[in-house]
Amino acid sequence: MPDSMTDKQRPENPVEFQKFAPFGKTLEIQGDHLEALYAPGLYELTCTVTKKSYFGESTCVLERMGRHYRQLQGGTRMRETPELQTDWNHHGPKAFLFRILLSGPEWASKVKRRRQELRYITTNSTRVYNKYPTASSTHRVQCCIDGVSYISIAEAARAVGVSESEVRRRLDNPLATNYVLGEKMPNGKPFELDGIWYATRQEAAKRLNCSRTTILRRIRKIKDTNTPKSASNDYPD
C-alpha cells in the first residue's frame, strides 16, 4: 500500500479503504472501525500513481466518499480541483485510496474539523490537490486572535497591524495556536442592538431566537428614533 503521509504525520490507527466500493467493490478496513464510516471526521483521497492527496472534512465520512465518487465520475470537479479530476480521468478510480484520518463524536464541530483540515493541507502543501481558501465578496471569515474575536479577517488585520494575507497565513499555521479560524458568515454591514454587535441579521436572529424580520423591524425602529425630524417651515421666524 502506498504511503501518502509520513509516519510523524499519520494518525495511529487510520481506517484505510484500499478496495472500497465504488472505488473497487470490496471493503477492506484496518481494525474494527465500521462506526467511523458514519461519524464526523477528516479523510484523505490519494492517487497511488502521483502520490498526491485531497484532504477534506465531513459530518459523515461515508456520505462524502460517495459524493466524491459521483462528482469525479461525472467530471464535475474540474472547476474546483482540476488536477484531481484530470488524474482521475487518466488513471481511473482503482488508482485512488480513500482513508479516514480522524473520526468520532469529538469531531462534530465544523470549526474544529476545518482547522485540522488546514493543518493537513499546509503540512503536505507540496503534494495536495486542495486549493487554499480565498476571500469571497459574499462572505467573511470570523477568527479569534489571542482570545479576541473578530467578525472578519480584514478587521483582525487592522487590529493586529498586519496584512490580511499574513493573518490568513497564521490561521493556516498549526503552530500559531493563538490564531483560531472561525465560521464563514454571509457579508453584511455590522450593527449594534442593545449594546451587542452582530455581523449579520441572520446571526442576531439566531442568538436572540427570533426571526430576521423581527430583527429588521428593531433596527428600523432604532434608526427612526435616532434620526432627527426635519424642522417645519410653516411658521418661519
Query: What pLDDT does 27 receive?
Result: 40
Query: What pLDDT does 212 receive?
Result: 82
**Stretches in the chain below the pLDDT threshold 70:** 1-36, 132-138, 186-190, 199, 226-237
Please give the Cα distance from 143 to 151 (Å, whole number).
Answer: 7
Query: What pLDDT does 19 receive?
Result: 36
Start-end of CATH 3.40.1440.10 domains in the chain: 15-125
Query: What pLDDT does 189 receive?
Result: 63
Whose cell is 484531481? That residue is 84
Q: Which three cell numbers stand for residue 72?
A: 469525479
Query: What pLDDT does 8 receive?
Result: 38
Query: What pLDDT does 33 receive?
Result: 55
- Asked whether 181 and 111 are in contact (CB, 8 A), the reply is yes
Query: What pLDDT does 13 receive?
Result: 43
- Asked whether 200 and 193 are in contact (CB, 8 A), the reply is no
CATH number for the domain formed by residue range(s) 15-125: 3.40.1440.10
114-187-79 Cα angle (round to 5)? 55
Query: What pLDDT does 133 receive?
Result: 52
Whose cell is 464510516? That residue is 37
The reply to whether the predicted model has a pTM over 0.85 is: no
Query: What pLDDT does 31 receive?
Result: 41
